[in-house]
């Protein structure tokens, strides 16, 4: 009987130690395994930069520029220093004229003299039958790379507290007025 009690106690002790160690690790553990996304979404957004002649269609405008440039057309030196504010329609396919499911709103800027690179801070404001809420992004966008990864740093509504990575691809462009970006969003932290 004594031995049996001790047996059960031993099992209990081992389990408790296991529990405690796992619980302590849960308190400290910050290194997580990269796993499958908890949500994956793909969208297109369409940017039409104001150029002095397209006010009706323009979805963005140059609002800052270095002293050597101007705000009517993207400047020299790879547009270095140009800052653009945008309100771009988001569509599910690559057609500018498809019904918008939301707007991409915020700013981007060109930040390098030698090659086209950009930096983005913006939000997806989604308002469709499928999704209502916002997704917030920041990150560097080295435009000459085929795909570029930026961070999803938060969200609200259907995207409450989301985090993840968004991969940008330049899907099309016409001159320096129309740009279409494909955005593949993979969320790795979701709440529900």
Binds a second copy by CB under 8 A, chosen from 48, 62, 90, 168: 62
Q: Is 4 in the site for a second copy (CB under 8 A)?
A: yes
Q: Is 171 in the site for a second copy (CB under 8 A)?
A: no
DSSP 67: T
Specify the residue, 101 or 138, whose C-beta has the smaller distance to a second copy: 138
Specify the residue, 94 or 178, whose C-beta has the smaller distance to a second copy: 178
Cα distances (Å, whole numbers) of residue 132 to 22, 155, 158, 160: 37, 11, 6, 10
Distance (Å, whole) CA 97 – CA 100 = 8
Residues touching a second copy, count (CB under 8 A): 88
Binds a second copy by CB under 8 A, chosen from 43, 44, 80, 179: 80
Q: Is 61 in the site for a second copy (CB under 8 A)?
A: yes
Q: Is 71 exposed, middle or buried (0-12, 13-18, 19+ CB in 10 A)?
A: middle
Helix (H) / strand (E) element for 20: namely helix 2-28
Strand 102-110 with 147-157, pairing: unpaired
Name the segment binding a second copy (CB under 8 A); options: 23-31, 40-48, 90-98, 177-185. 23-31
Q: Is 182 in the site for a second copy (CB under 8 A)?
A: no
Q: Is 154 in the site for a second copy (CB under 8 A)?
A: yes
Our CA angle for 126, 57, 138, nearest 5°, is 40
* Binding residues among 121-140 for a second copy as defined by CB under 8 A: 121-123, 125, 134, 136, 138-140
């Amino acid at each position: 009987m004594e031995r049996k009690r001790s047996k059960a106690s031993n099992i209990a002790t081992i389990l408790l130690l296991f529990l405690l160690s796992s619980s302590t690790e849960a308190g400290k553990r910050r290194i997580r395994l990269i796993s499958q996304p908890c949500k994956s979404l793909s969208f297109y957004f369409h940017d039409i930069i104001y150029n002095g002649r397209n006010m009706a269609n323009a979805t963005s405008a140059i609002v800052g520029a270095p002293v050597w440039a101007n705000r009517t057309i993207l400047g020299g030196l790879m547009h270095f220093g140009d800052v653009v504010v945008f309100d771009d329609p988001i569509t599910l396919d690559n057609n500018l004229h498809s019904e918008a499911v939301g707007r991409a709103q915020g700013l981007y800027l060109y930040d390098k003299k030698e090659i086209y690179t950009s930096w983005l801070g913006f939000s997806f404001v989604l308002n469709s039958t499928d999704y209502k809420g916002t997704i917030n992004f920041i990150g560097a966008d080295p435009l000459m790379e085929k795909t570029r990864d930026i961070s999803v740093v938060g969200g609200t509504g259907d995207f409450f507290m989301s985090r993840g990575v968004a991969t940008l691809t330049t899907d099309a462009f016409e001159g320096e007025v129309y740009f279409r970006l494909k955005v593949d969003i993979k969320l790795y932290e979701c709440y529900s």
